[in-house]
Structure 1
Amino acid sequence: MSLLSFRKPAAAPAPDTAPTPEMVALLRGHSIEVMPRTAEKVDDFRSYLPAGTRVYIAHIDGTEIDDMVATAARLRAEGFEPMPHFPARSIPDANTLNDWIARYKGEADINQALVLAGGIAQPRGDFDSSMQLLETGLFDRAGITRLHVAGHPEGNRDIDPNGGDAAVMDALRWKQAFSERTDAEMAMATQFAFEAGPVIAWADRLKAEGITLPIHLGIAGPAKLQTLIKFAIACGVGPSLKVLQKRAKDVTKLLLPFEPDEIMAELATHKAAHPDSLIEAIHFFPLGGIKTNAKWAIANGGASAAPANPDADI
C-alpha cells in the first residue's frame, strides 16, 4: 500500500484514568520554552499555562533584542516568570550585555536568566562561553538571582566535536564552583532527549562526581514525528534519536503524533523512588505548539498543569 493511499489513523483517545501521583509530582513546577515569533501566535498564555510558570525565551541568533524584551514584558504582564536566553556568542561585548540586562530589568522586571554559549560556531565579539558572561558580574549587580546554565546528557559537539565529555565536565565543575562562591541560585536546563535510562545514568554520574546543580530536564512535547526528527537533528540530540528513527520505520505510526508518555512515566517512577535525584523539574520544548503541549500536560499532570485561567477551554 502506497503512502498516497494510506489513511491517517484516528488520534489516540484522551486517557480515561486520573493522573498518577508520581506524574503530578514530576510535572509540578514545570517550565516551557517559547520564541518571540511563536509567542505572537498565542492569544493569552493564561489559557494554557499554570500561573507563575517559568517561561524561557529562546534567543535565536538574529532575533532583535526589541522582540525579546517585548515578549518578556508580555509574559510578566500575564503573570508568568520570563527567563530570557543570553547566548554568549551572539553578544558582541560587555556594554551590549549590560544594556540587554538593563532593558529586561526595566521593561519586564526579570530576575532570572538562562546563560549559554549559543548555537553559532563563530562568536560575534568578545564572548565565547557562558562562563565568560557569568564572570562579568553583571547579572549579580543587576539583582538577577536565578541563573540557569546548559546541561548536556548526550554530550555537546559544540564543545567537543568528537562527542567526548571531558570538556563538558570541566565546564560543569566550573559552574558548580561558581554556584558555591556566589549567591546565585543555579540549575542546569538540558537539551531534550527521548530515553529515560541514559539521562538518569548521567544525573547519577554527575552526583557521584560532586556536581549538585539541580537538573531541569528537557522534554519534547507532543509533535509530528517528522517535526521531532528535524528538530532533534538540528539541535544535536544524541543516541536517544534512535527512539524516533525506530518509530519512523513503522508506517502505521508515521502519521501519528509522538508523545512523551514513555519517557515521562519512567522519569516519574524514578523520581518517586529517588527523591534526592538531581532531576528536579521538567522543561518542555513545545515543538508541536503551546496548545498541544498544554493539553498533554493537563491530561497527565492534572492540578500541576491547570492553566491560570480556570475558564480556559483548550
Structure 2
Amino acid sequence: MPGDQSPRREGPWPDALVRGTRFEVIPVPGIIATVAAHLPPGMRVSVTASRKHGLDATLAAARALAEQGYVAIPHLAARQIADEAELQRILDDLASSGVQELFVIAGDAPHPAGDFEGSLHLLEAMGTSGRSFEIGVGAYPEGHPFAPSEAESMRLLQEKARYASVLVTQLCFDAGALLDWVRRLREHGVRTPVRPGIAGPTDVARLLRIGARVGVGPSLRLLTRQGSGIRHLLGPGGWSPDTLLEELAPSFADPRYGLEGLHVYTFNAVEASAAWWHSGDGRRGGDESPAVSR
C-alpha cells in the first residue's frame, strides 16, 4: 500500500508478502496492553467485530491503538449498524481519531440490527458519507456458512471490489485451493489485490475449534487427516505458518496473482504471533533467523 511505513519482517519472503501485513486481535479487556507489549508502534492491527463483544468494543480498541501509534483497522459489521445516521457518527469519530482504514464485513448476526443487510449495502452507504478510508472487504475462497453459492459469491465480490483497496481472505491452509480461487477471481475481471488470511502459531485444537466456527472448509479438515498431503504443515509444536508461506511465496512474486501482504489471525495469542514474525522463523529460533527491521 502506498505510504506503508509499518515494520517489516526481513528474510526469504518476497517484499509483496511482507508489505502491509497486519495482525488481527479480538477486543477483549487488556488487549491494548498485550499489543503494546509485543508489537512495536507502526504495526498494522486489525480489530474484530462480533455479536459477543459488540461494535463499541471494536471502535474503542481501534481508537486506543491509533492513539498509541498503531495503524488501527476496525472491522465494521453491517448487521450491527442501525442506519445511515449511526454509520455517519461512526465514520466521523474514527476519522477524528486518526483511523484511515476499515475492514467491512456483513457480520455473523442472524438478523440485521437495522437497514444494512450485508456488506455491499454498507459499502454503498459509505460511498456517500463524505469520508474517505482505505477499505478491505472479506473474501471466502472455500465458502462460508452464511455465504451463497460460489457463483453468487463471485458476483457479489465483483460488486464489493469496486469499493475496496484489498480483499482479505478467510483462514487459508491449502495454497493450491487459495491460488485456484485467485485465478478464477482474475478470470472474472477482479483486479483488486488479495491479502491471504493465515493463522498465527497456535495449537491444532484451537485451530479446529475456531476454523469450524468461521466456516473454513476442506483444507482445515485435511490438516488432521491421516495420509493427507498437507499434514506436513503441522510441526511438533502444532501449527506454524512457515511451510504454507514457502508454498505461497512464488505466487507473491508473480504479479499475475496480485497477492499483497498477510492478514495474520492471532486469536489473541499476540505474543506467539509477534515472536514468530520477528524471529524470521518461529520454528528454528532466532539464532538461525534473519533480523527484523523495526
Determine the C-alpha separation between the residues in 2 that align with 1:148 and 1:46: 24
Equivalent position SS for 1:246: coil
- The structure 1 residue matched to 2:121, chosen from 132, 145, 152, is 132
Alignment of 1:1-314 (within 5 A): 20-22=11-13, 26-37=17-28, 40-43=30-33, 45-106=35-96, 108-137=97-126, 140-144=129-133, 146-160=134-148, 164-176=149-161, 178-179=162-163, 186-246=165-225, 256-272=237-253, 274-287=254-267, 289-300=269-280, 306-307=293-294
The total of aligned residue pairs comes to: 275
Determine the C-alpha separation between the residues in 1 that align with 2:291 and 2:95: 29
Pair 44,122 (structure 1): closer, same or farther in 2 beyond 3 Å: closer
- Do 2:252 and 2:258's aligned partners in 1 also have CA atoms closer than 8 Å? no
Determine the C-alpha separation between the residues in 1 that align with 2:273 and 2:107: 25
Determine the C-alpha separation between the residues in 1 that align with 2:13 and 2:236: 30
CA displacement, residues 270-296 of structure 1 (integer Å, 9 cap, x when unaligned): 323x13422111110013600100111
- Do 2:135 and 2:165's aligned partners in 1 also have CA atoms closer than 8 Å? yes
Equivalent position SS for 1:142: coil
Determine the C-alpha separation between the residues in 2 that align with 1:232 and 1:174: 27
Residue 298 of structure 1 deviates from its aligned partner by: 1.5
TM-score, normalised via structure 2 length: 0.83
Give the corresponding residue for 2:284. none
Residue 97 of structure 1 deviates from its aligned partner by: 1.4
Aligned CA-pair RMSD: 2.8
Determine the C-alpha separation between the residues in 2 that align with 1:120 and 1:45: 27
Determine the C-alpha separation between the residues in 2 that align with 1:120 and 1:304: 43
Judging by fraction of residues, say which structure has more helix.
Answer: 1
**Unaligned stretches of 5+ in structure 1?**
1-17, 180-184, 308-314
- Do 1:27 and 1:304's aligned partners in 2 also have CA atoms closer than 8 Å? no
Matched letter for residue 272 of structure 2: T
Determine the C-alpha separation between the residues in 2 that align with 1:306 and 1:74: 25
Determine the C-alpha separation between the residues in 2 that align with 1:284 and 1:131: 24
Matched letter for residue 242 of structure 1: R
Determine the C-alpha separation between the residues in 1 that align with 2:235 and 2:78: 38
Equivalent position SS for 1:265: helix
- Do 1:221 and 1:288's aligned partners in 2 also have CA atoms closer than 8 Å? no
Equivalent position SS for 1:73: helix
TM-score, normalised via structure 1 length: 0.78
Equivalent position SS for 1:123: coil
Determine the C-alpha separation between the residues in 2 that align with 1:50 and 1:207: 35
Pair 23,49 (structure 1): closer, same or farther in 2 beyond 3 Å: farther
- Do 1:50 and 1:305's aligned partners in 2 also have CA atoms closer than 8 Å? no
- Do 2:48 and 2:74's aligned partners in 1 also have CA atoms closer than 8 Å? yes
Matched letter for residue 246 of structure 2: A
Between 1 and 2, higher relative CO (CA 8 Å, sep ≥ 6) is seen in: 1
Determine the C-alpha separation between the residues in 2 that align with 1:37 and 1:245: 30
Determine the C-alpha separation between the residues in 2 that align with 1:139 and 1:285: 31
Determine the C-alpha separation between the residues in 2 that align with 1:65 and 1:206: 31
Give the corresponding residue for 2:285. none
Pair 81,254 (structure 1): closer, same or farther in 2 beyond 3 Å: closer
- Do 2:32 and 2:61's aligned partners in 1 also have CA atoms closer than 8 Å? no
Give the corresponding residue for 2:6. none
Matched letter for residue 179 of structure 2: I
